Amino acid sequence: MMDIEPVTSAYADEIFKNHEVEYEKLEGKLVTIEWLKWKNPDSGFHSAVYVRCNGTLVVYGDMFEAVYQWNEAVTLKWISQCDIGYFHSKCRASPVGKEFKRWDYDALKTRVVDNFKDQVKDENGTDSDADERFEKFDEAGGTDYLHNEFEWYEWLSTNGDEFFGDAENWPNGWIRDDLCDLHLEGLKRAIAQLDRPKL
């Protein structure tokens, strides 16, 4: 399966380099709310507001909206220390659905090719054998159905066993949307800025 490439640190450093943080915390008997605004004072580009209430984090702004959920009370600082895979798994709602996943044609095509390479490797075949399998796949119309989940699974229901074996081996086109990465990378940098001593 193709690895998901996260947003690079260098890219996040570049887009957030002029951002400034504002922070407020309200504590009650039953509820603690943290509010954090992360924005370039001269632009709204890649701005975000993070609102955390106990175990729920709502993010909104120029990087779109999402809701992340934990079963226990957490803090923004704690969330900022999560790895991207874990953070991604906590997304309950986003513009592209749960877990901030989106369908990607190129990712699926790469996974199909990788699947054929793995098949021929297991059979002591060569890359040209994998290319031949991809040609047969293409002739059967497989590449015409890579564009969306519904068409792809419809095609697989008829052809999946022939090309990929059991359903558990069928490749898919789901990838994590970069905006999920940017939500976490922005929060990390905002918390780091809050933790810096004031001059």
Tens-digit pLDDT profile for residues 5-55 = 567 889 999 999 999 999 999 999 999 999 999 999 999 999 999 999 999
Residue identified by tokens 């001269």 is 42
- The mean pLDDT of 169-188, rounded to a whole number, is 93
Range with the lowest mean pLDDT among 73-77, 120-124, 192-196?
Answer: 120-124
Whether pLDDT at 196 is above 80: yes
Pairwise CA distance, residues 17 & 6, whole Å = 19
pLDDT band at 185 (very low <50, low <70, confident <90, very high): very high
Whether pLDDT at 2 is above 60: no
User: Between 95 and 35, whose confidence is greater?
Assistant: 35
Residue identified by tokens 């809050």 is 194
pLDDT exceeding 90 applies to what percent of the chain?
Answer: 80
- Do the strands 66-69 and 101-103 form a parallel or antiparallel pair, or are they unpaired? unpaired
- Give the pLDDT score at 122: 85
Please report, as a single letter, which amino acid is at residue 178: D
Contact at 8 Å (CB) between 46 and 63?
A: yes
Q: How many residues would you count in the chain?
A: 199
Six-digit token pair at 161? Answer: 């066993």
- Give the pLDDT score at 51: 98
CB atoms closer than 10 angstroms to residue 96: 18
